[in-house]
Structure 1
Amino acid sequence: MNIISVTWEKSKKAMRISSALTLAFAGMGAVQAAPHAHGEGKLQILQAGKDWQFVLQLPAADVLGFEYAPSTASEKKRLTDTQHTLLQFNDIFDLSSSCNVIDTTLESPWSNEQSEHDEHDEHDEHDEHDEHDEHDEHDEHESEHEDGEHHNTHSDFRVAYLLSCQSPLKNVEMKGFSLWPSLQHVNAIWVTNNGQGALEISPSQPSLTLNN
């Protein structure tokens, strides 16, 4: 798992808030855990006073187009572009209140450096075998591929945004559906100072109203 963190405001307060929200969501995530499904994302929203955390989880198949470690230059570029997009909160969400993004942490299934390292190791291993062994290894690789190494691998991107809002959020719209056409819906749950709720949002109904 590759973790990318982008912080605009570093302070002990922000770190304490982020840790508290992360721990709270860890418990929520355990309760809300569900099987991975293509076309389906998850969104969790939590309020702690003026601070809010959004945790968005999306299948790699929908935001990236594949679910295996990228190996070609085109696939690696797509991974880099996808990671950059997921770090842009304002490109994905539209809020009813003015908020500042304090911290963003992205958990990516792979990094380009990891893919290049794996490719180099495979090349070295290839040179160490004779032609017969290479043939057997090739057959084994094809068998693994056919058995579902690429097809049955379920990978997700998970990104957490920590925000500070001047006033309580009432409405949240997910604009990200336009970025990922194969994403059919997102199961959203939220816990605020005034209550909690859940709603399935979709490209045709991308907004949710929080009970504030």
Structure 2
Amino acid sequence: MWKITMRFCQFIVIMCVSFCVNVFAEPLKAHTHGEGKLTVVFERGHLLVALETPAANVMGFEHAPQDESEREIYANALATLKAPEKLFELTRSCRLSRTDVKIPEVGHEHSDDEGVHEDGEDHEGHEGHEGHEGHEGHEGQHMDFDATYDWQCADQRQIKMAVKLFDVFPGFKKITAEWIAFNRQSSATLDASHSTLLLAP
């Protein structure tokens, strides 16, 4: 009976944390190369991190890979995003339990999240870009990577997270970080010289 109760409690915690991520994590307000967004939730030993970024930040381009070189870049970027130990340095008590990387549909003019540009106000004449039928219109294509990482942390007193995205992917210039931890929420702008988050009471 005790084991069943504990498992149920763990399930409730995971569901609550996942809900917080979905509610708190608003999409990027604009598709801006060089910028990304991190949403962090820490609750009862569960640390969830959601990353949103234009594909250009991690690949250098946002169109479907056209040759072997670009296909290799795409594969390497995807493999790196699936290896959070390369992207974040965490408190030693944290152990990775889940990684989920949403693969963009390469070859389309927009990412899966079509709502990013649905107003069209900042993209006049988007439908009329020359070369959309061929490969010359790559500047009109948009792709995004979305990744979610889940850690279990034995030490719940505080969490220190060094964000190494700027070193791994030089395309990142600025990351907006928002987090919920210890019944508080806050935010910060990260860059190459200020890239560490400390979650503490």
Q: Give unmatched runs, 5+ long, in structure 2.
A: 1-6, 109-127
Which structure dedicates a bigger proportion of its chain to helix? Answer: 1
1:85 Cα deviation after fit: 0.3
| Residue aligning to 2:21 | 25
Report the CA distance shift for 1:96/1:141 in structure 2 as closer, same or farther (over 3 A): closer
- In the alignment, does 2:177 pair up with 1:188? yes
TM-score, normalised via structure 1 length: 0.72
- In the alignment, does 2:81 pair up with 1:86? yes
Quick one: distance in 1 between partners of 2:182 and 2:20? Answer: 14
| Residue aligning to 2:150 | 162
Report the CA distance shift for 1:144/1:33 in structure 2 as closer, same or farther (over 3 A): closer
Report the CA distance shift for 1:162/1:152 in structure 2 as closer, same or farther (over 3 A): same
How many residue pairs match? The answer is 175
Within the candidate set 30, 34, 51, 1:35 is matched to 30
1:77 corresponds to which letter in structure 2?
A: E
Q: Percent identity?
A: 26
Q: Specify which structure has the bigger relative contact order, considering alpha-carbon pairs within 8 angstroms and separated by 6 or more residues.
A: 1
- In the alignment, does 2:197 pair up with 1:211? no
When the two chains are superposed, the root-mean-square deviation of aligned CA atoms in Å is: 2.9
Q: Deviations over 1:70-127 (max 9, x none)?
A: 232222221111111011111111123421110100012137xx89xxxxxxxxxxxx
Larger Rg: 1
User: Do the aligned residues in 2 keep the contact of 1:60 with 1:155 (CA within 8 Å)?
Assistant: yes
Q: Give unmatched runs, 5+ long, in structure 1.
A: 1-10, 116-139
Alignment of 1:67-146 (within 5 A): 67-110=62-105, 143-144=131-132
1:198 Cα deviation after fit: 0.3
Report the CA distance shift for 1:34/1:211 in structure 2 as closer, same or farther (over 3 A): farther
1:36 Cα deviation after fit: 1.5
TM-score, normalised via structure 2 length: 0.75
User: Do the aligned residues in 1 keep the contact of 2:43 with 2:181 (CA within 8 Å)?
Assistant: yes
1:34 Cα deviation after fit: 1.4
